[in-house]
Amino acid sequence: MTDATALPGQPRGAVLSGPATERAVNVLAPNASAMTLDGTNTWIVAEPDSGLAVVIDPGPLDDVHLSRVVDAAEKAGKRVALTLLTHGHPDHAEGAARFAELTGTKVRALDPALRLGDEGLAAGDVISTGGLELRVVPTPGHTADSLCFHLPADRAVLTGDTILGRGTTVVAHPDGRLGDYLDSLRRLRSLTVDDGVHTVLPGHGPVLEDAQGAVEFYLAHRAHRLAQVETAVEEGHRSPGEVVAHVYADVDRSLWPAAELSVRAQLDYLREHGLIEDA
Protein backbone atom coordinates (compact mmCIF):
# COMPACT_ATOMS: atom_id res chain seq x y z
CA MET A 1 0.00 0.00 0.00
CA THR A 2 1.39 3.41 -0.99
CA ASP A 3 1.90 6.01 1.72
CA ALA A 4 -0.16 9.07 0.74
CA THR A 5 2.54 11.40 2.11
CA ALA A 6 4.90 10.02 -0.54
CA LEU A 7 2.57 10.97 -3.38
CA PRO A 8 2.77 14.34 -5.17
CA GLY A 9 1.09 17.02 -3.08
CA GLN A 10 0.45 14.68 -0.13
CA PRO A 11 -3.22 13.82 -0.84
CA ARG A 12 -5.40 13.24 2.20
CA GLY A 13 -6.89 10.01 0.88
CA ALA A 14 -10.51 9.29 0.06
CA VAL A 15 -12.56 12.07 -1.50
CA LEU A 16 -15.39 12.83 0.89
CA SER A 17 -18.14 15.38 1.27
CA GLY A 18 -17.56 17.49 4.35
CA PRO A 19 -15.19 20.06 5.88
CA ALA A 20 -11.76 20.36 4.28
CA THR A 21 -10.44 23.51 5.99
CA GLU A 22 -11.87 25.89 8.57
CA ARG A 23 -13.73 27.78 5.83
CA ALA A 24 -14.20 25.26 2.99
CA VAL A 25 -16.66 22.37 2.79
CA ASN A 26 -16.88 19.93 -0.11
CA VAL A 27 -20.05 18.48 -1.58
CA LEU A 28 -19.02 15.72 -4.01
CA ALA A 29 -21.12 15.49 -7.18
CA PRO A 30 -22.24 12.03 -8.37
CA ASN A 31 -20.51 12.27 -11.75
CA ALA A 32 -17.48 10.05 -11.32
CA SER A 33 -15.67 9.02 -14.52
CA ALA A 34 -12.20 8.52 -15.93
CA MET A 35 -12.03 12.25 -16.65
CA THR A 36 -13.76 13.59 -13.52
CA LEU A 37 -12.13 11.12 -11.09
CA ASP A 38 -14.40 10.69 -8.04
CA GLY A 39 -16.71 13.45 -9.32
CA THR A 40 -16.75 17.23 -9.21
CA ASN A 41 -15.89 18.89 -5.91
CA THR A 42 -18.41 21.66 -5.26
CA TRP A 43 -16.98 23.99 -2.63
CA ILE A 44 -18.96 25.94 -0.04
CA VAL A 45 -16.72 28.64 1.41
CA ALA A 46 -17.61 30.92 4.32
CA GLU A 47 -16.29 32.59 7.43
CA PRO A 48 -17.10 30.40 10.44
CA ASP A 49 -19.13 33.11 12.20
CA SER A 50 -20.91 34.40 9.08
CA GLY A 51 -24.39 33.56 7.84
CA LEU A 52 -23.36 33.99 4.20
CA ALA A 53 -21.53 31.53 1.96
CA VAL A 54 -19.97 31.44 -1.50
CA VAL A 55 -20.31 28.36 -3.70
CA ILE A 56 -17.58 27.57 -6.22
CA ASP A 57 -18.44 25.30 -9.17
CA PRO A 58 -22.00 24.01 -8.60
CA GLY A 59 -21.15 21.15 -10.93
CA PRO A 60 -23.34 19.22 -13.37
CA LEU A 61 -27.03 19.88 -13.99
CA ASP A 62 -28.25 17.46 -11.35
CA ASP A 63 -31.07 18.71 -9.12
CA VAL A 64 -30.30 16.19 -6.39
CA HIS A 65 -26.69 17.35 -6.16
CA LEU A 66 -27.60 21.04 -6.34
CA SER A 67 -30.17 20.59 -3.58
CA ARG A 68 -27.56 18.78 -1.47
CA VAL A 69 -25.29 21.80 -1.82
CA VAL A 70 -28.04 24.14 -0.62
CA ASP A 71 -28.89 21.76 2.24
CA ALA A 72 -25.25 21.51 3.33
CA ALA A 73 -24.99 25.29 3.52
CA GLU A 74 -28.26 25.62 5.42
CA LYS A 75 -27.32 22.91 7.93
CA ALA A 76 -24.19 24.93 8.66
CA GLY A 77 -26.36 28.01 9.27
CA LYS A 78 -25.36 29.66 5.99
CA ARG A 79 -27.27 31.21 3.11
CA VAL A 80 -25.65 30.94 -0.32
CA ALA A 81 -25.06 34.54 -1.38
CA LEU A 82 -22.85 34.16 -4.47
CA THR A 83 -21.85 31.55 -7.05
CA LEU A 84 -18.40 31.52 -8.69
CA LEU A 85 -16.99 29.43 -11.55
CA THR A 86 -13.40 28.34 -12.05
CA HIS A 87 -14.12 27.71 -15.76
CA GLY A 88 -16.90 26.75 -18.12
CA HIS A 89 -16.59 22.99 -18.59
CA PRO A 90 -19.98 21.32 -18.03
CA ASP A 91 -18.86 19.20 -15.08
CA HIS A 92 -18.19 22.46 -13.23
CA ALA A 93 -20.62 24.94 -14.71
CA GLU A 94 -23.58 23.19 -16.33
CA GLY A 95 -25.66 23.40 -13.15
CA ALA A 96 -24.85 27.06 -12.43
CA ALA A 97 -28.00 28.60 -13.95
CA ARG A 98 -30.26 26.14 -12.14
CA PHE A 99 -28.32 26.65 -8.91
CA ALA A 100 -28.79 30.40 -9.29
CA GLU A 101 -32.54 29.79 -9.53
CA LEU A 102 -32.50 27.70 -6.36
CA THR A 103 -30.47 30.21 -4.38
CA GLY A 104 -31.34 33.55 -5.97
CA THR A 105 -27.66 34.27 -6.47
CA LYS A 106 -25.63 35.88 -9.20
CA VAL A 107 -23.05 33.82 -11.06
CA ARG A 108 -19.64 35.40 -11.58
CA ALA A 109 -17.16 33.97 -14.09
CA LEU A 110 -14.40 35.13 -16.41
CA ASP A 111 -16.38 34.17 -19.53
CA PRO A 112 -19.28 36.63 -20.06
CA ALA A 113 -21.37 33.81 -21.55
CA LEU A 114 -21.40 32.06 -18.17
CA ARG A 115 -22.33 35.05 -16.02
CA LEU A 116 -25.71 35.76 -14.48
CA GLY A 117 -25.62 39.39 -13.42
CA ASP A 118 -23.53 42.38 -14.36
CA GLU A 119 -20.27 41.47 -12.62
CA GLY A 120 -17.62 39.18 -13.99
CA LEU A 121 -14.26 38.14 -12.60
CA ALA A 122 -10.82 39.47 -13.44
CA ALA A 123 -7.24 39.24 -12.20
CA GLY A 124 -6.78 41.01 -8.90
CA ASP A 125 -10.46 40.99 -7.94
CA VAL A 126 -11.14 40.35 -4.28
CA ILE A 127 -14.43 38.66 -3.41
CA SER A 128 -15.75 39.85 -0.04
CA THR A 129 -18.93 38.11 1.13
CA GLY A 130 -19.86 37.86 4.78
CA GLY A 131 -16.33 38.82 5.79
CA LEU A 132 -14.79 36.14 3.59
CA GLU A 133 -11.83 37.09 1.40
CA LEU A 134 -11.21 35.27 -1.88
CA ARG A 135 -8.61 36.59 -4.32
CA VAL A 136 -9.01 35.87 -8.04
CA VAL A 137 -5.92 34.32 -9.61
CA PRO A 138 -5.91 34.07 -13.43
CA THR A 139 -4.68 30.61 -14.45
CA PRO A 140 -5.38 30.08 -18.16
CA GLY A 141 -4.04 26.96 -19.82
CA HIS A 142 -6.41 24.10 -19.08
CA THR A 143 -8.93 26.43 -20.73
CA ALA A 144 -8.66 30.07 -21.70
CA ASP A 145 -11.13 31.06 -18.96
CA SER A 146 -9.61 29.08 -16.08
CA LEU A 147 -9.33 30.83 -12.72
CA CYS A 148 -8.20 29.85 -9.24
CA PHE A 149 -9.32 31.38 -5.96
CA HIS A 150 -6.82 32.13 -3.21
CA LEU A 151 -8.27 31.74 0.30
CA PRO A 152 -5.63 33.51 2.43
CA ALA A 153 -7.21 32.84 5.82
CA ASP A 154 -6.87 29.07 5.27
CA ARG A 155 -3.57 29.34 3.35
CA ALA A 156 -5.39 27.48 0.59
CA VAL A 157 -6.11 27.78 -3.12
CA LEU A 158 -9.14 26.43 -4.98
CA THR A 159 -7.76 25.26 -8.29
CA GLY A 160 -10.64 23.93 -10.40
CA ASP A 161 -8.97 21.75 -13.03
CA THR A 162 -5.64 23.60 -13.05
CA ILE A 163 -4.30 21.22 -10.39
CA LEU A 164 -6.16 18.01 -9.58
CA GLY A 165 -6.05 15.99 -6.40
CA ARG A 166 -4.86 12.94 -8.33
CA GLY A 167 -3.08 12.60 -11.66
CA THR A 168 -2.56 15.54 -13.99
CA THR A 169 -4.89 17.76 -15.97
CA VAL A 170 -5.49 18.05 -19.70
CA VAL A 171 -4.51 21.20 -21.56
CA ALA A 172 -7.66 21.23 -23.66
CA HIS A 173 -6.48 22.25 -27.17
CA PRO A 174 -7.40 24.47 -28.94
CA ASP A 175 -8.94 26.52 -26.11
CA GLY A 176 -6.15 25.64 -23.72
CA ARG A 177 -2.54 26.62 -24.41
CA LEU A 178 0.51 24.99 -22.87
CA GLY A 179 2.58 28.18 -22.58
CA ASP A 180 -0.24 29.82 -20.64
CA TYR A 181 -0.59 26.73 -18.47
CA LEU A 182 3.10 26.68 -17.55
CA ASP A 183 2.89 30.38 -16.64
CA SER A 184 -0.16 29.61 -14.50
CA LEU A 185 1.67 26.85 -12.64
CA ARG A 186 4.53 29.26 -11.94
CA ARG A 187 1.98 31.79 -10.68
CA LEU A 188 0.60 29.19 -8.29
CA ARG A 189 4.11 28.30 -7.19
CA SER A 190 4.63 31.93 -6.23
CA LEU A 191 1.56 31.70 -3.99
CA THR A 192 3.17 28.81 -2.14
CA VAL A 193 6.50 30.63 -1.79
CA ASP A 194 5.41 34.23 -1.23
CA ASP A 195 1.96 33.85 0.34
CA GLY A 196 2.36 30.67 2.35
CA VAL A 197 -0.28 28.65 0.53
CA HIS A 198 0.02 24.99 1.52
CA THR A 199 -3.39 23.44 0.78
CA VAL A 200 -4.89 22.71 -2.64
CA LEU A 201 -8.68 22.40 -2.80
CA PRO A 202 -9.05 20.88 -6.29
CA GLY A 203 -12.02 20.56 -8.62
CA HIS A 204 -11.56 16.77 -8.63
CA GLY A 205 -9.80 14.34 -6.34
CA PRO A 206 -8.59 14.61 -2.75
CA VAL A 207 -7.35 17.69 -0.94
CA LEU A 208 -3.57 18.15 -1.23
CA GLU A 209 -1.57 19.13 1.84
CA ASP A 210 1.62 20.13 0.00
CA ALA A 211 0.72 22.77 -2.56
CA GLN A 212 4.31 23.53 -3.51
CA GLY A 213 5.10 19.85 -3.98
CA ALA A 214 2.06 19.48 -6.22
CA VAL A 215 3.06 22.44 -8.39
CA GLU A 216 6.64 21.23 -8.68
CA PHE A 217 5.38 17.77 -9.70
CA TYR A 218 3.14 19.30 -12.38
CA LEU A 219 5.99 21.40 -13.79
CA ALA A 220 8.34 18.41 -13.85
CA HIS A 221 5.65 16.23 -15.46
CA ARG A 222 5.05 18.80 -18.21
CA ALA A 223 8.77 19.12 -18.90
CA HIS A 224 9.07 15.33 -19.13
CA ARG A 225 6.08 15.00 -21.48
CA LEU A 226 7.37 17.81 -23.68
CA ALA A 227 10.72 16.06 -24.00
CA GLN A 228 8.94 12.80 -24.88
CA VAL A 229 6.81 14.49 -27.53
CA GLU A 230 9.82 16.29 -29.02
CA THR A 231 11.73 13.00 -29.20
CA ALA A 232 8.75 11.22 -30.75
CA VAL A 233 8.57 13.84 -33.51
CA GLU A 234 12.31 13.55 -34.12
CA GLU A 235 11.83 9.79 -34.51
CA GLY A 236 9.22 10.34 -37.23
CA HIS A 237 5.92 10.29 -35.33
CA ARG A 238 4.39 13.36 -36.94
CA SER A 239 0.63 13.34 -36.41
CA PRO A 240 -0.94 13.87 -32.95
CA GLY A 241 -2.40 10.36 -33.11
CA GLU A 242 0.98 8.83 -33.85
CA VAL A 243 2.59 10.76 -30.99
CA VAL A 244 -0.13 9.65 -28.56
CA ALA A 245 0.30 6.00 -29.53
CA HIS A 246 4.04 6.30 -28.97
CA VAL A 247 4.22 8.46 -25.83
CA TYR A 248 1.05 7.27 -24.08
CA ALA A 249 1.38 3.58 -24.95
CA ASP A 250 1.14 2.63 -21.25
CA VAL A 251 -2.02 4.72 -20.68
CA ASP A 252 -5.55 3.27 -20.90
CA ARG A 253 -6.68 3.72 -24.51
CA SER A 254 -9.98 5.18 -23.31
CA LEU A 255 -7.94 8.24 -22.23
CA TRP A 256 -6.17 8.65 -25.58
CA PRO A 257 -8.67 11.20 -26.96
CA ALA A 258 -7.95 13.45 -23.98
CA ALA A 259 -4.23 12.76 -24.33
CA GLU A 260 -4.44 13.85 -27.97
CA LEU A 261 -5.77 17.25 -26.87
CA SER A 262 -2.71 17.68 -24.67
CA VAL A 263 -0.38 16.44 -27.43
CA ARG A 264 -1.83 18.97 -29.86
CA ALA A 265 -1.16 21.71 -27.30
CA GLN A 266 2.38 20.42 -26.79
CA LEU A 267 3.06 20.31 -30.52
CA ASP A 268 1.85 23.89 -30.86
CA TYR A 269 4.15 24.92 -28.01
CA LEU A 270 7.17 23.19 -29.53
CA ARG A 271 6.51 24.81 -32.92
CA GLU A 272 6.04 28.26 -31.38
CA HIS A 273 9.41 27.92 -29.64
CA GLY A 274 11.20 26.63 -32.75
CA LEU A 275 11.89 23.24 -31.22
CA ILE A 276 10.22 21.29 -34.02
CA GLU A 277 9.35 22.19 -37.59
CA ASP A 278 5.84 22.34 -39.03
CA ALA A 279 4.74 19.03 -40.51
CATH superfamily of the domain spanning 18-211: Ribonuclease Z/Hydroxyacylglutathione hydrolase-like (3.60.15.10)
Q: CA-CA distance, 172 to 40, in Å (whole number)?
A: 18
Q: Check: CB of residue 83 under 8 Å from CB of residue 55.
A: yes
Q: Check: CB of residue 139 under 8 Å from CB of residue 147.
A: yes
Tell me the mean pLDDT in the region 44-56. 98
Q: CA-CA distance, 190 to 202, in Å (whole number)?
A: 18
The share of the chain scoring above pLDDT 90, in percent, equals 92
Secondary structure letter of residue 68 according to DSSP? H
Domains in the chain: boundaries: 18-211
Cis peptide before 174 (omega within 30 of 0): yes
pLDDT at position 172 is 85
pLDDT at position 1 is 33
- Nearest in space to 244 (alpha carbons), one of 227, 230, 235, 257: 257
What rounded mean pLDDT belongs to the chain?
95
| Global confidence as pTM | 0.95
Tell me the mean pLDDT in the region 206-222. 97
Q: CA-CA distance, 275 to 267, in Å (whole number)?
A: 9
